[in-house]
Amino acid sequence: MTMGVLTRRSLTLFAAVGGWRTVAEAVVSKAVFLIAHLLTGRVLLSALVAVGAVAVFAIVRACTDRKYWQAGAGLMIVGVSASLAGGTGQAVDFYLVSVSLPAVAGTVFLVSMLVRWPIIGGLVEGLRGERSGWRRDRARLRRYQACTAVFLAKFGLSVTVMVPLYLAGRVTALGIAATVLGTPATGLCAYACWRILRTEASPREAGPAVTVPGHG
């Protein structure tokens, strides 16, 4: 399978999980809560404003695209964050999910590398339709280890930056960090992985005269 075909399948998978609307929801929920809290200083109100903003996205998506589960998933995540913050009265708890997930994901990614079954390899080769044969190809395994390490570094950075901010109760700094180190940083990691796989692809994988679409 060429990198062009793999890229098209990746874009199809990206669209299947909600595409750019999912990205927007993830960014908006964090940013809107922070802005509302800075303006009002009221935790519960700010949480409700964030839920309302994501609800608008969810309603538009459900009405236009009929993608109900993507709309519901985004609303559920911000709902959990709002419940945590509203229940404790602490604004930093709105970002508790954003603080916790990188620690969990980082552990999973690290274990996958240690057992030489890198998660990125499983995802990419799943798109290719191959189960486990790729693990016997040292070149491919090395590339997938490198790609998984890129995400592991991102998770490590997220934990290193956000945990101290959460423990110190620094809402503004935590909100900014959670927004930047969330979806935008994940997008950069995905692009870095695409570059690794594209640059180091073997002739057998890349095929002759492959034209890779400009969308990363």
Other Cβ atoms less than 10 A from the Cβ of 75: the count is 20
Give residue for tokens 């274990």.
111
Average pLDDT over residues 157-185: 94
pTM: 0.77
* Mean predicted lDDT score pLDDT of the chain: 81
So what's the pLDDT on residue 37?
95
Average pLDDT over residues 46-54: 92
So what's the pLDDT on residue 201?
52
Is the Cα torsion angle 164, 169, 175, 179 positive or negative in sign?
positive
